[in-house]
Chain A
Amino acid sequence: MLNRFFERDDSRRRALAVATVVPEPSRCVQCGICSYNCPLGVDVRRHARLGQAISEQACLTCGECVARCPRSVLRFETAAHQR
C-alpha cells in the first residue's frame, strides 16, 4: 500500500521534472504575483508578456507561480503536449 503511494509520488515528481510552465498571455494582466513568489527570482511575468514557456534552467517547476496566479495564466505542460 505504502509502496504504491511512493510510486505514485515518484511518478508525479518525474512528471514535474519534465514539465514546463507555459503562460496564456491573453489571460495575463501583468500583476507580477508570479515573479514575486518565484523562490529563484525567475521573471515569470516577462515570459507571460512575451508568450514564452519558462524553459530556464533555473526553473524548479515547483509550481508556486502556477498556484498563486489569480487568473490561471500559467499551467504545466509536459514535452509531449508541446508542439
Chain B
Amino acid sequence: MTAGYVIVGSGAAGIAAVEILREIDPRAKITLVTADRDGYYSRPGLAYLLTGQLPEKQLFPLTAREYAQLRIETIHDRALAVDADEHRLVLEQHGSIEYERLLLAVGAQANMPALEGIDLEGVVKLDTLSDARRILKLARKSRRAVVIGGGITAIELAEGLAAQGVETHYFLRRERYWPGVLDSQESGLVERRLEREGIRVHHHTEIERITGKRGKVSGVETTSGTQVDCQMVAVAIGIRPRLELARSSGLKIGRGILVDERLRTSAEDVFAAGDAAQVFDTARGEFLLDSLWWPAVEQGKIAGRNMAGHPASYRKPVAMNVTRIGGLTTTLIGAVGGGDMDRDLVSIARGDSEAWRQAPHAFAIEHEHEADRLRLLMEDNTIVGALLMGDQTLSLTLQELILRQVDIGAIRDDLISSQVFPGDLLTSFWRQWQEAGRALES
C-alpha cells in the first residue's frame, strides 16, 4: 500500500487504530494528522492534573520508545475536507494528502452556552491538555470561580479549582446534581461530599450574563439578579462530536458521524471511531453516542482491523464508566438513569453514554451501608443497570451479571427484602452460577 493509512485524531481511538494497523502490517505507511500539539495523552487524566495528583509528564501513556516503534508520520495540522472520490484529505496548511483508507477519530468538544461574556478571558472548559494548562495558570491568580454544568466534567472542574485553592461555587439549575443519571439520594451524597471539600453548591441558580473588565471575567449575574464577583467561569454543559470535517465532506451524520458495526462511514474507505462516531448498535437497532475511553479504544481497534482488510464487527458492550465523583469511586453499568430532565446538560457529557438513560420500565432496588451505596435496576428477573458508590468489590460481578443478562430470579426476593448490604448474596450467587456453567461445560 503506497498511500497508506491516514488517521485523523491522536486520542484513544486514533492511537488504538494505529497500534492495530502496525501490528497487522509492519511495513504499512501510517500518517497521523492531529491539531492537538500534545499528541496522545490521557484525556480523563486531566482531572488529576487539576487536582495535583499527577504531574503533566505522567499523562502520556506511551514512552518515547514505544511511540517511535509505531513509526507514525505525524502532521500537525487541521483536516478540512475529505475528497472521497479522489481518496484525498485536504489539510489547512499542508495542501492535501492521499490515503488508501482513512479514519476520522476527531473526538468531541465542549458545548458553550450562548451567554453574554462567554468570550471573556477566564471562561474555561476542559477538552484538552492545553485547556487544563490554561485553567491551572488562571487559577493561580484567581480568588473565586463559578462552575456551571453537569455530569462528571463539571465535578472535575469544581474539585480541580478547589484543590488549587480557588473559592469554588457550583451553580445547578435545578434542585440536584446530575438528575438524568443519579437518583436524589446519590445526588445528595455527592453534593454533601463536594461541600466537605469546600465547594459551595447553589441550587436553582443560573447565570444570566458574565461580566468583564478589560476583556477579563470580573463576575457573573444570576437570573435572579444576584452579582457574584469571580475571576473564572468553568463550563461543562456537555459535549458534541466534532462534525465539521464530516459535514464539509458530505458524509452522513446524525448527532455524530454515522457508522455501521464495522465502523464504516457513508463514504467508501472512510471510517470513524471514538467520541466523534455514532455507532450502529446491532442489539438495539439504533445509532448511539458514547464518550467513554474503553469503547473508543475498542472502536479504534475494530476500525483498524477493517481498514487493514480483516473484517471485524463492533459489538457495543454494556456501557460502563468508573470514576470518582466527590471523592467517591462510582461505577455506572448499563441502564441506570431514571430519565429525569437534566437542565445542566444540553447533550451527553464526557464519560457519559446515551445507553445509561434507557431503562423506562425498570424498577430500582437500593441498599446503603455507611458511605457505600448500591442501586440495581431490574427488569423482570434480570439486572439491566447498576450504580455502585464507594466499595467496589461487587463491581466485576455486577458487570458480568448485566452483560450476560443472568436470570437472578432465585435471589430476587432476597435482594429486595434484604436488610443488609447484599454483597455476599450477589457474590455467592455469581460464584454458584459460574460453577454451574463450568459443570455443564465439562
A26–B54 CB distance below 8 A: no
With a cutoff of 8 Å between Cβ atoms, the chain B residues found around residue A27 in the complex are 294, 320, 322, 331, 395
A24–B396 CB distance below 8 A: yes
Bound form: Cα–Cα A7–B392 in Å = 28
Partner of A72, one of B53, B60, B61, B392: B392
A24-B396, A49-B61 are contacts. A36–B54 as well, Cβ < 8 Å?
yes
A30–B58 CB distance below 8 A: no
With contacts A29-B42, A33-B53 known, what are 12 further pairs, Cβ within 8 A?
A24-B396, A27-B331, A27-B395, A29-B293, A30-B44, A30-B61, A30-B293, A31-B45, A32-B59, A32-B61, A46-B61, A70-B324
Bound form: Cα–Cα A30–B61 in Å = 6
Q: B residues within 8 Å of A by Cβ?
A: 12, 42-45, 48, 53-55, 58-61, 63, 293-294, 317, 320, 322-324, 329, 331, 392, 395-396
With a cutoff of 8 Å between Cβ atoms, the chain B residues found around residue A49 in the complex are 61
A26-B317, A26-B320, A72-B395 are contacts. A32–B294 as well, Cβ < 8 Å?
no
The A30-76 residues at the B interface (CB cut-off 8 A) are 30-33, 35-36, 43, 45-46, 49, 70-73
Can you list 6 A-B pairs with a CB-CB distance of less than 8 A? A24-B396, A29-B44, A30-B44, A31-B48, A70-B48, A72-B392
Number of A-B contacts (CB under 8 A): 64
Bound form: Cα–Cα A70–B156 in Å = 13
Q: A residues within 8 Å of B by Cβ?
A: 24-33, 35-36, 43, 45-46, 49, 70-73
With a cutoff of 8 Å between Cβ atoms, the chain A residues found around residue B61 in the complex are 30, 32, 45-46, 49
B58–A35 CB distance below 8 A: yes
With a cutoff of 8 Å between Cβ atoms, the chain A residues found around residue B322 in the complex are 27, 71-73
With a cutoff of 8 Å between Cβ atoms, the chain A residues found around residue B331 in the complex are 27, 72
A32–B45 CB distance below 8 A: yes
Bound form: Cα–Cα A73–B331 in Å = 11
A29-B293, A32-B54, A45-B61 are contacts. A72–B329 as well, Cβ < 8 Å?
yes
